[in-house]
Amino acid sequence: MSITAEEFAERAVSVGVADRWEVDRAVSELGVGEVPLTQMIDMLQRRGLVTTLQAEKIVRGDRTGFFYGKYKVLYLIGAGTFARVYRAELDGQVFAVKVLRKRFRDEPKELEQFLREGKMGLKLTHPNIVRINDVVDDKRNPFLVMEFVEGQTMRELVRIRGKLPYELALKLIGEVAAGLAFAAGLGISHRDLKLSNVLITSGGVAKLVDFGLAALADRSNPEQVADCPNARAIDYAALERGTSVRKDDPRSDVFFAGNMLYHMLAGVPALSETRDRIQRLNVNRFRDIQPIFDHVPDLPGVVNQLLLNAMEFNPALRIQSAAALHQAVKGVLEELKRGGERTEQLPGEKVNAEDVGDDKVITNEGVGYVVMLVESKTSLQNAVRERLKAQGYRVLIISDPRRALGRFSDAVDKPADCVIFGAGELGNDALDAFNAFADNEDTASIPAVLLVDPSQTHIVARAKRGSNRALLPLPLRVKQLRMALIKLLANTEKRAAGTY
Residues placed in the known binding site for ATP: 98
> Judging by beta carbons within 10 Å of its beta carbon (0-12, 13-18, 19+), is residue 299 exposed, middle or buried?
buried
Spatial separation of the C-alpha atoms in residues 105 and 417, rounded to whole Å: 57
| Binding residue ranges | 98
Residue 47: closest CA among 76, 19, 68, 87? 19
Going by DSSP bridges, is the β-strand pair 143-147/132-136 parallel, antiparallel, or unpaired? Answer: antiparallel
* Element of type H or E holding 394: strand 394-398
CA 71 – CA 326 distance, rounded (Å): 37
The answer to whether 293 and 299 have CB atoms below 8 angstroms apart is yes
Phi, psi for 426 (deg, rounded to 5): -80, -20
Nearest to 492 by CA among 367, 405, 319: 367
Q: What is the Cα–Cα distance from 297 to 303, expressed in whole angstroms? A: 12
Distant-in-sequence, close-in-space partners of 124: CB < 8 Å, separation ≥ 6: 131, 132, 179, 182, 183, 186, 188, 211
Q: What angle do CA 293, 294, 297 make, to 5 degrees?
A: 45
d(CA 436, CA 339): 49
